[in-house]
Amino acid sequence: MSVRKAEPYKIKMVEPINLIPREEREKALKEAGYNPFSLRADQVYIDLLTDSGTGAMSDRQWSALMMGDESYAGSRSFYRLLDVAKCITGYKYIVPAHQGRGAEQILLPNVIKKKGDYVLGNMHFDTTKAHIEIAGGRAVNFIDEKAFNTTDYDPFKGDFDLEKLEKFIKEKKAENIACIIVTVTCNSAGGQPVSMANIKAVKEIADRYGIMVLIDAARYAENAYFIKKREAGYENKSIREIAMEIFSYADGFAMSAKKDGLVNMGGLVGIKDDEELYTAVRSLMVPMEGFPTYGGLNGRDMEALAVGLEEALEFDYLESRIGQVEYLGQMLHDAGVPIQWPVGGHAVFVDCKKICPHIPFNQFPAQAVCNAVYIEGGIRPVEIGSFLLGRDPETGEDLESPLEFMRLTIPRRVYTNRHMEVIADAVINVAKNAEKLVGFEFEYEPKVLRHFTAKLRPVK
């Protein structure tokens, strides 16, 4: 009989949480414009809005904070971070940023050379798509169709459709394509990993046409774990070795370090060896982020990130972290709640198109389920569907997402499996009564990234 493995850490400090009464939750949600983003944190019992910057840092990271060198220029903490990031990626140039959006806003404008250039991806996340469009580019997705079949098992639903990708390049011509972005894991597809074979094939296609490849590396360590567990030939390789190979098939990366950097704030840009691009990024960083050796971060932030990048590559940590997500997913799956299967790395994605077929896409079925789950259990999920996708920048029409997901995003090293059981109970109860849910319409709609600050009202 094999011995069960527990979490590879013990709890040293706790933070109290409180479930406010149902009538207070109903009032709070109405005042928030039926948008969980606008809820106060103390109105939330279990917060699954995001895994970005919401994790718990380790004792080693808290200790590292005390070593922070707050020099404006040439900080010792910057060079420590530089050494760690170079060792993991093999890249010559590393630039810090305050978070992933900061990294994108100094990288993408230097890659998109002219208005209308295409940026190709497996499935761009919302903020990446927004930064592409702000820089004058056009984001196009080439996720494999298997991602849209949420029921059937496939180990790598984040893969590109390579045939469609190359066909598009031939039709639109390489000179009109700024770059290809490989998002690992692929958040919008359900936190799904991309296989090493697929990443390598994308790079081969890009090289044939002289196109730059970038990696959205927010969850690269989780993707490396899935490759080790699911892809033949990698079972005996370390997470670090797999991560290094992933980075070898790209020319640069942007990273929100608030995920696989295990910090509450931080980001990185990496450039393999293009000195001209590095110089341009570094120059733009000064007015946008800060001096090149701090990039919007304190010295203590960089020290904590240097430690977190190393900890995120530990197999035991990844096995425990992804295992907790699988535990929640398995409970929902066993209860007949439709989810993206298999479960991805950082979240369980509930298929709300199946739960609420009576709510049309432009009344946001996944938002309806998110709000119901908050009312049911004080749990704050987030919508990943047509509400998030927004409008066509040219026609202004609502875009219909191929997937209407409620994302139950699990912060790293924060909750226990008992919390997962409470979450499962609430979601199962909502799914059983989903025919009673109604859609939503706008009371206020921002022009960019609308789902963050929009206000809604129930459709009558």
Positions marked catalytic: 72, 125-126, 216, 218, 259, 451
The alpha carbon of 324 is separated from its chain's Cα centroid by a whole number of angstroms, namely 17
Give CA angle at 425 (420, 427), nearest 5°: 95
Ramachandran region of residue 432, left (φ > 0), alpha (ψ -120 to 50) or beta? alpha
CA distance 319 to 244: 19
CA distance 332 to 338: 8
Give CA angle at 371 (399, 411), nearest 5°: 90
CB 85 within 8 A of CB 95: no
Task: Specify the length of the chain in residues.
Answer: 460
CB 218 within 8 A of CB 188: no
Q: Which residues make Cβ contacts (< 8 Å) with residue 239, sequence separation at least 6?
A: 221, 224, 225, 228, 313, 314, 315, 318
CB 399 within 8 A of CB 338: no
The alpha carbon of 445 is separated from its chain's Cα centroid by a whole number of angstroms, namely 23
CB 63 within 8 A of CB 12: no
